[in-house]
């Protein structure tokens, strides 16, 4: 299966990547889970399905990761 190239949005004015800033604020185990999902997206692309990804609407999909807090 072909790899999918994953791009992150970067703020044009200051080169900040909001996703990476958000990830940095999460606990390390949660960061690892999110990075695992992003890696799977790169491996499977549009073929990634629930529970890892889901269709929202208008051709928009979401990448899903859950982690039990507590």
The pLDDT-based confidence of 67 (bands split at 50, 70, 90) is confident
pLDDT tens, residue by residue, 16-66: 999 999 999 999 999 999 999 999 999 998 889 999 999 889 988 899 888
Domain boundaries, the chain: 18-63
In which element (H, E) is residue 60 found? strand 60-63
Q: How is residue 45 annotated by DSSP?
A: G
Q: Is 43 exposed, middle or buried (0-12, 13-18, 19+ CB in 10 A)?
A: middle
How much is the pTM? 0.81
């Amino acid at each position: 299966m072909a790899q999918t190239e994953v791009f992150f949005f970067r703020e044009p004015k200051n080169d900040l990547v909001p996703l990476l800033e958000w990830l940095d604020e999460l606990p390390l185990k949660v960061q690892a889970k999110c990075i695992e999902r992003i890696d799977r997206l790169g491996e499977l692309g549009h073929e990634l399905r629930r529970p890892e990804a889901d269709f929202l609407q208008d051709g928009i999909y979401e990448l899903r990761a859950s982690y039990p807090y507590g």
